[in-house]
Amino acid sequence: MKNLFILLIFIPVICFSQTLTVNNNQTYITSGNASYSDITLNNNSLLHVVNPDSIYCSGNVSSSNGIGITIDDGGILHIVGTLSGNNNIQLNVSGKITIGSIDINNNGILTILGNGEVSILGDLTAENGTNIEIDFDGTLSVGGNVIIDEATSSVNVNGSFNIDGSYNGPAFTGAGTVTENDILIYPNTLPVEFLGMSINCENGGYNTVTWETASETNSDYFILERSRDGIHWLEIAEMKAKGNSTNESRYTFYDLKAGRYFEGYYQLTQIDYDGMFEIFDPITVQCKTDEKYEIMAYPNPTEDKVLITINSLKESQVQLSLITLTGQSLKTQTITLDRGINSFPYDLSEYNKGMYIINVVDTDIIQNISITKK
């Protein structure tokens, strides 16, 4: 019995956190550190965490009409679960909030002041007139997805907004930065305004790879890759970029090792001076030896019209198509070719500047030529 008595004395006592309820029109101001299992904020109530106090909530925070949560500089609010509520919820954060997820509706306001920090481990969901304001030194980090009603809400970023998942919401405003999966998505300053890439299969058994840019900002270099299956890529060239340019730039690489029979893909990657990069969509190439048509276009580049010349080995009917570098067919027509030289004008005046493919399709062969509209 003596031993048993001693064991009973040293068994620890487990204290469960109490719940916190802030009643209608009441204000709860911290006076030290506190821990709660759940927090309920009723109509027009206020939860105010002052410096240097902290609140730890192991469960959820639920709220209703017109509530406010204010975190002073130096104050900390940690919520393991979800902050959820409806109607005129205002969160003013100068200190720090760490929270599992946020789900609010109807005219919610999240304001991050000074060097305030809000870290959401899961998703941020806000509907119907939600306004998010991040001050110049403020930070909002979301480990999951961000879903904000686009039609009635606003997101003004003058500090930092970091999203590990996906963003679905209104367009950003402000002078700050927004990153999605560590990639800068706002401000929308594209390092390269890319016009497109084209491949010509040459009679000598090599491919001429050409790409164009309309402008470049802090662009260091390009990497060109080739693949036969679209999965396994081989780097075949690294070419220095223009750096900073507001003029159209044209790059050409002669792939002498592709071979006359090459069928596969080419892919281009652009690298910035700071190491950021952008991978452009790959394009498909089919190089065959059984050409039936020799296709030429003059002038190329052109401002509006070109003269298409097709030297055909036989009388035939073919489909002539104008295709973008992304594979979109802009117009298709059926033409009859005589044996020998066939010439006719081709109008590009209604289309934007850039590179296009003139595609000649026979029953068993596809041949093309690239055309640039300047």
Paired strand residues for 272: 219
Q: Which of 252, 254, 263 is nearest to 230 (CA)?
A: 263
pLDDT bin (cut points 50, 70, 90) of residue 59 is very high
Residues 143-169 have a mean pLDDT of: 93
Check residue 207 and give its pLDDT: 86
229 CB-near residues (< 8 Å, 6+ apart): 264
The DSSP code for 280 is P
pLDDT of residue 215: 85
3-state helix, strand, coil in the chain (%, to 5): 0, 60, 40
Judged on CB neighbours under 10 Å (0-12, 13-18, 19+), 107 is middle
- Give the sheet arrangement for strand 354-361, strand by strand: 329-337, 316-324, 354-361, 366-373
Q: How many CB atoms lie within 10 A of CB 325?
A: 21
Region of poorest pLDDT, from 123-137, 190-204, 286-300: 286-300
Predicted confidence band at 362 (pLDDT cuts at 50, 70, 90)? confident
Q: How confident is the model over 338-366, as a mean pLDDT?
A: 83
pLDDT tier at 35, thresholds 50, 70, 90: very high
Query: How far, in Å, CA of 301 to CA of 355, rounded?
Result: 9
Report the candidate in 64, 60, 62, 71 with the shortest Cα–Cα distance to residue 30. 71
Amino acid (1-letter code) at residue 186: Y
Q: Which of 10-14, 247-251, 281-285 has the lowest mean pLDDT?
A: 10-14
Looking at residue 10, its pLDDT comes to 35
The separation between the first and the last C-alpha atoms of the chain, rounded to the nearest angstrom, is 98
> Of the candidates 47, 45, 41, 75, which has an alpha carbon nearest to the alpha carbon of residue 61?
41
Whole-angstrom CA distances from 229 to 226, 255, 324 are 9, 18, 22
Mean residue pLDDT of the chain comes to 86
Q: What's the pTM value of the predicted model, to 2 decimals?
A: 0.51
Q: Which CATH superfamily is domain 293-373 in?
A: Macroglobulin (MG2) domain (2.60.40.1930)
Q: How confident is the model at residue 31 (pLDDT cuts 50, 70, 90)?
A: very high
Pick the CATH number of 193-286 from 3.20.20.70, 3.20.20.450, 2.40.70.10, 2.60.40.10: 2.60.40.10
Residue 299, preceding bond cis, omega within 30 degrees? Answer: yes
**At 216, which amino acid appears?**
E
Which residues have a Cβ under 8 Å from the Cβ of 247 and sit 6 or more positions away? 215
Please tell me the distance from the alpha carbon of residue 9 to that of residue 210, in angstroms, as a whole number. Answer: 83
The amino acid occupying position 220 is D
